[in-house]
């Protein structure tokens, strides 16, 4: 089976809005619906993590449109929310983990990530860095980094279910923190995390400027 975990419990503080990021509307539609629409044909079950105090509101929206989506109370951090979802999933198969904040993921990218996971056990999308990178300490340049070896990482990331559950279990018990799911695999010594080329349109909405850019993308696509 294939499962999807949607991490959508973030408060979105950097957006400086009064509502959580998942409930921000793009073109009149709440953010988490964009991801569900893209993934629903690829997976057997979807787990959506939302802020605890917005569960009722999320349920009203989901029941009306996607009654089979399972809502999960999010935790204090992203990894807590993902872990809460993982604890509800049993058996074998593949689990995809995606950030609700990336509404423009393509179906093509989803398929490529699944294919890579089926072959290697873990697959993540990455983007080449074109800018020069500096390591800075106390406002002074320490050194220039080799950008050829450094990449931006995106979601969705896909993993064999037993593998990612083992990684999360071990790291959560030791109190290890990470903002990226594949990081936990690295920490248990898994060295076959396959990388595929990500997509520039697969932007992450973090700041208000990102919302403006997202609206621009939607309007452009509508015209095309």
pLDDT tens digits for 101-144? 999 999 999 999 999 999 999 999 999 999 999 999 999 999 99
Non-local CB neighbours of 56 within 8 Å, separated by 6+ positions = none
173-194 tens-digit pLDDT? 999 998 899 999 999 999 999 9
pTM above 0.85, yes or no: yes
Determine which of 26-30, 38-42, 126-130 has the lowest per-residue pLDDT on average: 26-30
101 alpha carbon, distance to own chain's centre: 7
Domain count, the chain: 1
Residue 16's domain is classified under what CATH number?
A: 3.90.550.10
Task: Report residue 222's pLDDT band, with 50, 70 and 90 as the boundaries.
Answer: confident
- Residue 127's CB is within 10 A of a number of other CB atoms, namely 14
% the chain with pLDDT above 70: 99
Beta strand pairing call for 157-160 and 151-153: unpaired
> What are the C-alpha distances in Å from 14 to residues 91, 185, 211?
37, 28, 12
Q: Is the pLDDT of residue 196 over 70?
A: yes
Q: What is the pLDDT, as a whole number, of residue 205? A: 92
Q: What is the pLDDT, as a whole number, of residue 115? A: 98
Q: Is the pLDDT of residue 13 over 80?
A: no
Count CA atoms within 13 Å of residue 110 on its CB side: 23
Q: Identify the H or E element spanning 125.
A: strand 122-128
Task: Report residue 223's pLDDT band, with 50, 70 and 90 as the boundaries.
Answer: low
Task: Please answer whether residues 123 and 116 qualify as being in contact, where contact means their C-beta atoms are separated by less than 8 angstroms.
Answer: yes
Q: What is the pLDDT, as a whole number, of residue 221? A: 77
Structural domain boundaries, residue 210:
2-223
Non-local CB neighbours of 73 within 8 Å, separated by 6+ positions = 9, 49, 50, 52, 55, 84
Task: Report residue 12's pLDDT band, with 50, 70 and 90 as the boundaries.
Answer: confident
72-95 average pLDDT score? 95
């Amino acid at each position: 089976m294939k499962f999807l975990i949607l991490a959508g419990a973030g408060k979105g503080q950097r957006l400086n809005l009064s509502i959580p990021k998942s409930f921000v509307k793009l073109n009149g539609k709440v953010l988490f619906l964009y991801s569900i629409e893209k993934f629903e044909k690829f997976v057997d079950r979807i787990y959506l993590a939302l802020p605890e105090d917005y569960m009722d509101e999320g349920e009203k929206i989901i029941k009306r449109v996607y009654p089979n989506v399972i809502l999960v109370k999010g935790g204090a951090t992203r990894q807590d929310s993902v872990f809460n979802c993982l604890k509800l999933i049993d058996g074998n198969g593949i689990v995809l983990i995606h950030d609700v904040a990336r509404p423009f993921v393509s179906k093509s990218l989803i398929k490529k990530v699944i294919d890579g996971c089926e072959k290697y056990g873990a697959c993540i999308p990455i983007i080449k860095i074109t800018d020069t990178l500096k390591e800075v300490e106390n406002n002074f340049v320490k050194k220039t980094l080799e950008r050829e070896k450094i990449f931006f990482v995106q979601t969705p990331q896909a993993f064999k279910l037993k593998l990612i559950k083992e990684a999360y279990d071990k790291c959560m018990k030791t109190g290890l923190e990470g903002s990226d799911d594949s990081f936990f695999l690295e920490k248990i010594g898994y060295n076959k995390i396959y990388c595929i080329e990500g997509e520039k349109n697969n932007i992450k909405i973090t700041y208000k400027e990102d919302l403006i850019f997202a609206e621009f993308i939607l309007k452009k696509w509508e015209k095309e």
